[in-house]
Amino acid sequence: MASAGSGDEKAATVTLISSDNEHFEVPEAVATLSQTIRHMIEDGCTDGGVPLPNVTGRILAKVLEYCNKHAAASDKDELEKFDKAFVDIDDQATLFDLVMAANYLDIRGMLDLTCQTIADMIKGKSVEEIRETFNIKNDFTPEEEAEIRRENQWAFDD
Amino acid sequence: MSDGARKTRRFFGASSSGAGGSGAGSASYRGGVGIGAARVSDVNTGILDENVLALVFRSINFDPKALCTVARVSRRLRAVAERVLWRELCISRAPRMVASLTGVPVGVAGAPAPPPPGRIVGGWPALAKLLLFCCGAASAAVPGHFTGVSRFSKTSGRSFLSRRCRGDLLYVSDPCEHAVPGAADDVGAYRGVFRGFMRSRTRACLVGRRAALETRVRCPYCGARVWSMVAAGLVPRSAWRRLGAYEGRLEYYVCVSGHLHGNCWLARLTSSDGEHDGDSDDDDDDDDASTEGRSDDGHVPS
């Protein structure tokens, strides 16, 4: 069962343990935005905390930021504003980490949000734009590049 | 575990902003293990991580245009597209057909998903193109075009197999009709794919007859060499009857990977004729595979 909070008024909480051994005490109502954690709570195996060996504390903190907000607020506009700011991250790497975390923790809303954000950087963009956005080196020879371009033209021949 | 070593954070209520965390390491620290940790030994992180790519592309339903673009960006992205993304596109558009071609069963809701098929002869990019692209008819100067929606049928495929090869499993699409300027009739272009072509009766017949590979035609899907089934004498009359083509006026090629492509001149129908005179069009649902996407209007998003 979840470890009880110290006050008699507080709702049940659960302790999440990141891969680098940071502990996060979180209300169940927030933690259960993650289906993965929800199932663990339901299965009654959260005594002593839930280890999440796949997620660092840094990312888990960000995930919980999302869960906190979405568990509490219900105003659509407010959530939309939050979501927009949430993914407005300079550090691209964090965005990718959030995709993986959302998938691992099974948080549908966060997965959709983060995937959408990255997809918007890809869909409708040119090859060069994609390289620039993600800082990817073109490692094809000019001949290879021309060949691969020909090979992949078909989806554009409407 | 000693209390001193533990750093516990409390998240109660929406008022906790959480920005930057409370006493956490600096934002740029990425040591340790798990999601969020630096992976010095693995250069395929971030957008080059195939798990991330698979998730992102799933969210846009493996959009073919985006996939074709991404495959051109770098060697790594091309490799991931070839091994994972094109495969997932094929599975999403035609799950039963892919399951049939690879022998890997379709997932059942509620049960754990079976591992996805690894390879397919001719490669996943070729199969994806075959599902979504009509190759037109070079001989009638009909250019190829992106179709997005096609129906593939085993029953149609059967009609393309000569009697002794009827044990083979072949999917063929409905003909895609094209008006040809200056010609009274339309050209129908069709394409298809064999299951297990290397072990098929059709291939055995072609090899047995020492059928020559064509010198001037290639598979529009995988680029491999092709046999002309007309030249090999392996086109049954049921094929042109099924298509509604003029007798004898069809061409039909099979490549060494088992991809089929061809075209025919379509006989003009009288108002009283059905599309398939003779052959009844009563395909089992199981035989058909449609490449319609999951969107409501039944069209693959372009």
Read off the tokens for A15: 């302790």
Is B16 an 8 Å CB contact of chain A? Answer: yes
Q: Are residues B130 and B200 in the same domain?
A: yes
Q: B152 and B82 in one domain? A: no
Q: Is B144 on the interface with A (CB under 8 A)?
A: yes
Q: How confident is the model at residue B259 (pLDDT cuts 50, 70, 90)?
A: very high
Mean pLDDT of A38-55: 89
Question: Are B245 and B149 within one domain?
Answer: yes
Q: How distant, in Å, are the alpha carbons of B93, B114, B119 from that of B99?
A: 12, 11, 12
- What pLDDT shows up at residue B294? 37
Interchain CB distance below 8 Å, B37 and A119: no
Whether the per-residue pLDDT at B27 is higher than 50: the answer is: no
B129 and B96 part of one domain: no
Host domain of residue B60? 50-102
Displacement of CA A65 from its chain's centroid (Å): 11
- Binned at pLDDT 50, 70 and 90, residue B241 comes out as confident
Of A22, A115, A130, the CB nearest to B73: A130
Q: Give the count of Cβ contacts less than 8 A between chain A and B.
A: 196
Residues of chain A with Cβ-Cβ distance to B291 below 8 Å are none
What are the C-alpha distances in Å from B243 to residues A66, B87, B111, B137? 57, 30, 40, 15
Same structural domain for residues B260 and B170? yes
Q: What pLDDT is stored for residue B19 in this prediction?
A: 38
Q: What pLDDT does B276 receive?
A: 43
Q: Which two tokens stand for residue A140?
A: 């094809």
Tens digits of residue pLDDT in A58-95:
999 999 999 999 999 889 999 999 999 999 987 899 99
Cross-chain Cβ contact B65/A138 below 8 Å: no
What pLDDT score was predicted for residue A103?
96
> For residue A10, what pLDDT is reported?
63
Find where tokens 């037109």 sit. Answer: B136
pLDDT at A35: 97
Which of A112, A124, A137 is facing B59, going by the closest CB pair? A112
| B256, part of any domain | yes
Nearest-by-CA chain A residue for B126: A151
| B10 beta partners | A25
Query: Are B72 and B182 members of one domain?
Result: no
Residue type, position A142, single letter: P
pLDDT at B38: 65
The pLDDT, as a whole number, for residue B30 is 58
Report pLDDT for A158: 76
Q: Are residues B235 and B130 in the same domain?
A: yes
- The span from the CA of B156 to the CA of B159, in Å, is 5
Domain spans of chain A, in order of start: 13-123
User: In B, which residues are within 8 Å of A9 by CB distance?
Assistant: none
B223 pLDDT exceeds 80?
Answer: yes
- Mutation site, B60, B72, B176, interface A, largest A CB count within 10 A: B72
More confident residue, B117 or B298: B117
User: pTM, whole model, 2 decimals?
Assistant: 0.82
Give bridge partners of residue B259 from the DSSP assignment. B193
Q: Taking the mean position of all CA atoms in its chain, how far away is CA A62?
A: 9
- B132:A155 CB<8 A: yes
Task: Point out which residues pair with B263 in neighbouring strands.
Answer: B189, B251
Which among B11, B66, B143 has the least Cβ separation from residue A123? B66
pLDDT band at A31 (very low <50, low <70, confident <90, very high): very high
Give B127's pLDDT tier (boundaries 50, 70, 90). very high
Residue B12: what pLDDT?
47
Q: Which CATH number fits domain A13-123: 3.30.710.10, 3.30.565.10, 3.80.30.20, 3.10.20.30?
A: 3.30.710.10
pLDDT at A73 (0 to 100): 82
| Confidence band, pLDDT 50/70/90 cuts, at residue B41 | low
Asked if B122 and B198 count as a contact pair (C-beta separation under 8 A), the reply is no
Which residues of chain A lie closer than 8 angstroms to B59, CB-CB?
111-112, 115-116, 119
Mean pLDDT of chain B: 81
Record: contact A68-B11, CB cut-off 8 A: yes
Question: Longest Cα pair distance anywhere in chain A, in angstroms?
Answer: 71
Instruction: Quote the number of domains for chain B.
Output: 2
Strands (E), B145-295: 145-146, 151-153, 170-173, 176-179, 186-194, 213-218, 225-228, 245-255, 259-266, 288-290
- pLDDT (0 to 100) of residue B37: 76
pLDDT at B299 over 60: no
Interchain contact, B32 vs A20, CB within 8 Å: yes
Q: Is residue B67 included in any domain, yes or no? A: yes
Whether B140 and B218 map to the same domain: the answer is yes
Would you say residue B55 lies in a domain?
A: yes
Closest chain A residue to B69, measured at CA: A127
Q: Say yes or no to pLDDT of A115 above 50.
A: yes
pLDDT band at B47 (very low <50, low <70, confident <90, very high): confident
Q: Around Cβ B14, how many Cβ atoms within 10 Å?
A: 15
Do B249 and B128 have their domain in common? yes
Instruction: Identify whether residues B130 and B226 lie together within a single domain.
Output: yes
Answer yes or no: do B59 and B152 share one domain.
no
Taking CB atoms and an 8 Å limit, are A56 and B144 in contact across chains? Answer: no
Chain A residue with CA closest to B131: the answer is: A155
Q: Indicate if the pLDDT at residue B52 is higher than 50.
A: yes
Q: What is the pLDDT of residue A89?
A: 87
Question: ipTM exceeding 0.85?
Answer: yes
Degrees, nearest 5: CA angle B162-B149-B158: 10
Residue B185, token pair as written in the block: 């009739």
pLDDT at residue B1 in the model: 41
Residue B283 confidence (pLDDT): 41
Structure confidence at residue B185 as a pLDDT band (50, 70, 90): confident
Residues B134 and B246 in one domain: yes
Closest-CA residue of A relative to B26 is A58
In the predicted model, what is the mean pLDDT of residues B154-171? 94
Interface test with A, best of B1, B2, B10, B35 (most A CBs within 10 A): B35
